[in-house]
Chain A
Amino acid sequence: LAKTTQPISMDSYEGQEVNITCSHNNIATNDYITWYQQFPSQGPRFIIQGYKTKVTNEVASLFIPADRKSSTLSLPRVSLSDTAVYYCLVGPNQAGTALIFGKGTTLSVSS
């Protein structure tokens, strides 16, 4: 299983772009990288997923370098409502493997 490492916390102000980097040095060939967002008292929810290069959706962008040993979640122009914990998850390389979450990054957005 590919272990992930993220910063414990980050602070930002409204309107700024936030980039959260996740390290996954032993990612397997078939693994995808998925990011989840969790608000207090709620279960995590899917944000974005990618395999290589860049993926963009209506919420965020995901940048993955060629060696795939890291990935960066980019949140454009954050607002107070983006205050949450963000988890990077690297997918299993074979069926039946458990999905292990890392400690996540607590993002605090201030006005």
Chain B
Amino acid sequence: NAGVTQTPKFRILKIGQSMTLQCTQDMNHNYMYWYRQDPGMGLKLIYYSVGAGITDKGEVPNGYNVSRSTTEDFPLRLELAAPSQTSVYFCASSYSGGGSATNEKLFFGSGTQLSVL
């Protein structure tokens, strides 16, 4: 199993451009999450999904959109990139919600480093 795969690893955008960060997992996990991490800071939840067709907002959803058409994929869309969206983006997945059953845990991808200039 590849686990959680994120693409691209690095990207530079100009202000106002749009892009999609891709995330796919091959573990048949129900739950998927998008986090962002600003330099020297902790993780902030952007959006999450409990299954195909179901998404919900996290702590910092403004400026982002998500979709979950399949169990495997959970892309994150930036429509009008702004400098405040410069960050490292992590996608994660878990079988259920993580932490609610013995040995449930989050699996993270390696991240996408995004700069908006």
Q: Which residues of A does B touch, CB under 8 Å?
A: 30-34, 36, 41-46, 49, 51, 85, 87, 89-93, 95-104
Contacts and interface: CB of A to CB of B under 8 A. Distances in A.
Given A101-B35, A101-B43, A101-B45, A44 B99 contact: no
Interface stretch (B67-75, B79-87, B103-111): B103-111
Nearest to A43: B108
Contact of B106 (A30, A44, A85, A103): A44
Interface of B: 4, 33, 35, 41-45, 48, 50, 56, 58-59, 88, 90, 92, 96-111
Given A36-B106, A92-B100, A102 B58 contact: no
Given A36-B106, A49-B99, A51-B102, 11 more contacts: A34-B99, A41-B111, A43-B92, A46-B106, A46-B107, A89-B99, A91-B100, A96-B50, A98-B58, A100-B58, A101-B35
Given A42-B111, A43-B109, A46-B106, A99 B42 contact: no
B16 to A, nearest CB: 28
Contacts of B56: 96, 98
Contacts of B105: 34, 46, 49
A104 B42 contact: yes
A91 B108 contact: no
Closest 7 CB pairs of A and B: A91-B99, A43-B108, A46-B105, A101-B43, A32-B99, A103-B42, A91-B100
A46 B96 CA distance: 15
